[in-house]
Amino acid sequence: MLKQRVVTATILALLVIWAVLRLPATGFGLALLVIILLGAWEWTRLVGLAAPRDRGLYVGGVLLLILAIWPLLDHTALMSGLLSVVVLSWCGALLWLRYYAQRPDHQDRSLAIGIAGVIVLVAPWAAFMELRGEFGPSYVLFLFLLVWAADVGAYFAGRRWGQRKLAPAISPGKTWEGVGGAVMATLMLALVGAALLDVGARWPAFVMVCLITVGFSIAGDLFESMLKRQCGVKDSGSLLPGHGGVLDRVDSLTAAAPVFLLGLHGVWR
């Protein structure tokens, strides 16, 4: 299983790096859109939609919303306002997670999960496109590397030292020691990134943004785990061998992208 996970992860990483560095803005947006729509299809399972027609309507709604937002990406003030609302929504998701952790038998309404899915899926598409447009492909690639490094750090630290459960009612495999591994990996990569991206004297704020971003990426992972637990499934899908579905690979990024971009706006103001 580990070998399969490594092979799949390596192929995905190479494809992502190529897409970020080689595709033009429109091509990158379309490639990202395909990933989001695949995630939306998987999200319909968490909502409880079974009929292909209903699932298709949900995916179509996500598509129409993204197409409506695309021409507005150049309106910086508008996008910053929407971004702030999204980050506040993720702060609300922290309370949602806490509530469920205290009442693991709770079942959320399908409507609430459906609305949450629209935010979770549409916001990172807009955030990645805005990040690429404002700061360039190098920052997009850095964000991917940041979340990947945190995941790897959490995985190996958790396996080696993990004892204290982070959220046993939501994701029993995650530990506070794993969080510590993620923080250490983030800190090291953030310091390297600050130098390579020529952040200059803003590097302490940049490093702090990276740490907060990874904190929210963990929340994004837990949020999907919470919904899968309510749905009674282990993976969101089976498209990626050894990794489950698309959502299982991008759940951390869905929260990380808006937070990272909003943090950069704060650093450069």
Q: How do residues 117-142 score in pLDDT, each as one tens digit?
A: 999 999 999 999 999 999 999 999 99
pLDDT of residue 269: 66
- Rounded alpha-carbon distances, angstroms, from residue 242 to 185, 222, 248: 23, 19, 11
- In the chain the beta strands, taken as DSSP E runs, fall at 165-167, 171-175
For the full predicted model, state whether its pTM sits above 0.85: yes
Sign of the alpha-carbon dihedral angle for 152, 215, 224, 246: negative
Yes or no: say if 25 and 134 are a contact pair by the CB < 8 Å rule.
no
- DSSP character at residue 23: S
pLDDT tens digits for range 31-62 = 999 999 999 999 999 999 989 999 999 999 99
pLDDT of residue 246: 86
pLDDT of residue 2: 54
Distance CA(37)–CA(216), nearest Å, equals: 22
Distance CA(34)–CA(40), nearest Å, equals: 10
- Per-residue pLDDT band at 94 (split at 50, 70, 90): very high
User: What's the total number of domains in the chain?
Assistant: 1
What is the identity of the amino acid at 179? Answer: V
Considering the chain, what percentage of its residues have pLDDT values greater than 90? 71
Residue range of the domain that includes 91: 2-267
pLDDT tens digits for range 15-31 = 889 999 999 999 999 99
pLDDT tens digits for range 61-77 = 999 999 999 999 988 88
- State mean pLDDT over 78-88: 90
Helices (H) and strands (E) in the chain, counts: 9, 2
- Per-residue pLDDT band at 268 (split at 50, 70, 90): confident
**Mean of the per-residue pLDDT values for the chain?**
90
Q: What region does 200 belong to: left with phi over 0, alpha with psi -120 to 50, or beta?
A: left
Structure-block tokens of residue 241:
């061998």
pLDDT of residue 124: 95
